[in-house]
Amino acid sequence: MQKITTYLWFDKEAEEAATFYTSLFPGSRIGDVQRYPEGGVMTVTFELAGQRYIALNGGPEFKFTEAISLYVDCESQEEVDELWARLTEGGEESQCGWLKDRYGLSWQIIPRALTDLIGGSDPATSARVVQAMLGMKKIEVQGLLDAAART
């Protein structure tokens, strides 16, 4: 059992959000659903790619902010494109690979190429890649590669 679990507060969309999130990542699933005495969903335990979360229908008192986000390490531009399209549907794009989904939860959809290029041994290349990223909403790997190749 995972020692620390991320607990997400929703108004009344916990089950809907958990179902949506588990549809995005292979190997994900809904676990336990607990109900309030009157029958409505109280919490939903779910796993995304092996990481456990709990979603609560706690009411409208608290909203998500960018102070917390879910970071997704993407292997390819295709994975970035698919997740970006699905998560921004009903949500909103932000800068540098960040977005808010339809429930207001912030995500970072980041291709591994970005971290590889920034973490390289040449500071000038890293700086060019960072500058390219700063001008992007959804991260485009080809744009990063082009920036890295400039001299």
Averages of pLDDT over runs of 10 residues in the chain (151 residues) are 94 98 97 96 97 98 97 98 98 98 98 96 96 98 97 76
pLDDT at 85: 98
Structure confidence at residue 86 (pLDDT) = 98
Report pLDDT for 103.
Answer: 98
Output the pLDDT for position 42. Answer: 98
pLDDT of residue 151: 76
pLDDT at 52: 98
Task: Give every CB contact of residue 97 below 8 A, 6+ residues apart in sequence.
Answer: 108, 109, 110, 114, 133, 136, 137, 138, 139
